[in-house]
Amino acid sequence: MNADAGITTLDLSTTELREVNETLQSARPGNRRYEIVNTRGAHAIAVGLDAPIEVTVKGSTGYYCAGMNKQATIRVEGSVGPGAAENMMSGTVIVDGDASQYAGATGHGGLLVVKGNASSRCGISMKGIDIVVHGNIGHMSAFMAQKGNLVVLGDAGAALGDSIYEARLFVRGEVASLGADCVEKEMRPEHLDLLADLLAKAGADAKPEEFKRYGSARKLYNFNIDHAGEY
Spatial distance between the Cα atoms of 36 and 28, rounded to a whole number of angstroms: 17
Question: Can you give the pLDDT at residue 1?
Answer: 56
Question: Can you give the pLDDT at residue 45?
Answer: 98
CA distances (Å), origin 19, targets 37, 64, 72, 122, 145: 14, 17, 18, 30, 34
Radius of gyration, CA atoms only, the chain: 18
Q: Of all residues in the chain, what percent carry a pLDDT higher than 70?
A: 93
- Predicted structure pTM score: 0.93
Question: Can you give the pLDDT at residue 31?
Answer: 76
Question: Can you give the pLDDT at residue 6?
Answer: 85
In this prediction, the residues of the chain whose per-residue pLDDT falls under 50 are 231
Q: What are the residue ranges spanned by the domains of the chain?
A: 98-220
Summary mean pLDDT of the chain? 94
